[in-house]
Amino acid sequence: MFYTISETVEALKSGKTTSVELVKSSIDTFENDKKSEKPLNAFLEIYDDVLELAKTCDEKIAAARADGSIEKLYEAQPLFGLPFANKDNISVRGKKLTCSSKILEGYVAPYNATVINRLVEAGAIPLGRCNQDEFAMGSSTEYSVYGPTRNPINRDYVSGGSSGGSSAAVAANQALFGLGTETGGSVRLPASYCGVYGLKPTYGVLSRWGVVAYGSSLDQVGILGHTPADIATPLSVMCGTDFYDDTSADLPESSSLKNLEAYKDFASLKIAVPKQFEEAKGLDEDVRKVFEDVKAWFTSKGAKIESVDLPILDASIASYYVIALSEAASNLSRFDGIRYGAREDNGKGYDQLYVDTRSNGFGPEVKRRIIIGNYVLSEQFSGTTYKKGMSVRARIQREVAALFENYDLILCPTCPTAAFKLGEKYDDPMAMYLSDLYTVFVNLARIPSISVPAGFTSDANGKMPVGIQFAGKMFSEAKILQLAQAWEEDHAGCGVPVKK
């Protein structure tokens, strides 16, 4: 298996490898892993037609090499023959989709999500679906009906969530890049825990058509990869307006994503570090140290860093959970035992069918959230909670947008801690929710942010990866990816400085 997309493409073009070989290597690692004592459990399933699809790609590649049109082929379809990891909440026609929930047992997606269509048009091959927290609710991929996904760096630790399966698959070299989804950090958080790059794009840049909704005003597909360029290429083929999603939007400057260059103009770069995050109580000392290293790197490149005071950020977790859970309660009402997946019919009429299906189909965390969401939306309380949550969100959006009039980047850790041990926070929802302390403001403000693998915790804490976020203003994906590329060129390999 090759490490990056560009290396793999070169190997495919020259015949050094084939798409079948790539797929076989993923299948082998998947099968071997299942037998291991502590299986990763990243993929839930490798799709049954991957080898067939890879074979067809190989035939076209061989023909193009023979008639001299290989460069043209890759210009038109930059991901030709490359398998990628999918998340279990993104539809692939004819394939199972369960959101790692019992309630969707047996459900088969009738159509492709737009992001899948666009990747397939670019030549990529959906390799399989990956584990996640049930309905993307969680921060550790422990809330899955299929059991947790372990962290490939140390299998006693969580992979992060909710896109822990895709993230672990990429980190363990079972896939070159992966799709995840974000509502409040579900791509950046596992990226940070597993030591890979993870991008949450601007709201709307990737279509949500065919992606199972959690909190629709926050949801966004995200990308996991080994390098910023490995994120930029899939982003460039997937982004842009979609007839089926009215909230979708074009990404200006998407052409600069194709051959991603490292950012150079550091002298004019102004970076904001929110005081609220630096002073937050739960910030782990090892994470703080890595964060200081990243700040020092930016300063050494000539950038200017200033601490900014944004008191509203202290309310971001509260606002996020009010809004996300309200939208979740509403979105998940469609799982009624009639329309999708599993049905529990004890012959006592529709009302009981609905109650039985949902009682047996949803896991405890999803139930907790549906109950809180409905409580928040009830007539009696919506004024004091839901509306307040919404006004806090409006302020976050306004104040973050205003900040970007003076600054190019918000810099902060991705999570207050590195990956924790399996089971450590499983029964403590508040502790789990606080993992999202630094990520949710990004979704509330609808801006893009990338988690960059920036270093490790100390030996005493298991030497686990630590991610730092580069967040930019809306539609500044190209810029934050170029900045991440500059970081990558100086630090390839999880924040380990490159010897020059």
In order, the DSSP letters of 230-251 are: HHHHHHHHH-S-BTTBTT----
The interface mask with ligand GLN, positions 425-444, x = CB under 6 A, is -----------x--------
Binding to ligand GLN by residue 134, rule CB under 6 A? no
Catalytic residue among 144, 162, 166, 236: 162
Query: Which residue number has the CB closest to ligand GLN?
Result: 186
Write the DSSP symbol of residue 198: E
The interface mask with ligand GLN, positions 19-48, x = CB under 6 A, is ------------------------------
> Is the omega angle on the peptide bond into residue 162 within 30 degrees of 0, that is, cis?
yes
CA distance 6 to 74: 11
Nearest-approach distance from CB 12 to ligand GLN, in angstroms = 33
Is 186 catalytic? The answer is yes
Binding to ligand GLN by residue 203, rule CB under 6 A? no
Contact with ligand GLN (CB under 6 A) among 26, 89, 183, 207: 183
Nearest-approach distance from CB 104 to ligand GLN, in angstroms = 16
C-beta separation of 469 from 483 below 8 A: no
Nearer residue to ligand GLN within complex by CB, 175 or 442: 442
Q: Which two tokens stand for residue 39?
A: 């299986």
Stretch that binds ligand GLN, among 103-111, 183-191, 393-401, 411-419 (CB under 6 A): 183-191
Nearest-approach distance from CB 435 to ligand GLN, in angstroms = 7
CA distance 348 to 355: 11
Write the DSSP symbol of residue 205: S
Q: Residue for token digits 């609808």?
A: 446
Reduced DSSP (H G I as helix, E B as strand, rest coil) percent helix, strand, coil of the chain, to 5: 45, 15, 40
Nearest-approach distance from CB 461 to ligand GLN, in angstroms = 22
Question: φ, ψ for residue 467 (rounded to 5)?
Answer: -105, 145
Contact with ligand GLN (CB under 6 A) among 58, 142, 182, 230: 182
Sheet holding 125-130, edge to edge: 43-46, 125-130, 83-87, 177-182, 220-225, 197-200, 449-456, 465-471, 409-413, 270-274, 304-308
Window 152-181: residues binding ligand GLN (CB under 6 A): 162
Is 192 catalytic? The answer is no
Catalytic residue among 13, 87, 95, 479: 87
Binding to ligand GLN by residue 136, rule CB under 6 A? yes
Amino acid occupying residue 153: I
Nearest CA among 185, 189, 192, 409 for reference residue 295: 409
The interface mask with ligand GLN, positions 278-317, x = CB under 6 A, is ----------------------------------------
Total number of residues that touch ligand GLN (CB under 6 A): 13
Nearest-approach distance from CB 45 to ligand GLN, in angstroms = 21
The DSSP H or E segment spanning 50 is: helix 50-66
Binding to ligand GLN by residue 417, rule CB under 6 A? no
Nearer residue to ligand GLN within complex by CB, 12 or 136: 136
C-beta separation of 377 from 426 below 8 A: no
Contact with ligand GLN (CB under 6 A) among 2, 43, 74, 214: 214
**Cα-Cα-Cα-Cα dihedral of 83, 84, 90, 94, to 10°?**
20
Is 139 catalytic? The answer is no
Catalytic residue among 159, 167, 186, 449: 186
C-beta separation of 230 from 197 below 8 A: yes
CA distance 464 to 458: 8
Nearest-approach distance from CB 27 to ligand GLN, in angstroms = 28
Nearer residue to ligand GLN within complex by CB, 185 or 195: 185
Binding to ligand GLN by residue 326, rule CB under 6 A? no
Nearest-approach distance from CB 436 to ligand GLN, in angstroms = 5
Q: Which two tokens stand for residue 137?
A: 């609710």
* Enzyme catalytic residues: 87, 162, 186
Binding-site ranges for ligand GLN (CB under 6 A): 136-139, 162, 182-186, 214, 324, 436
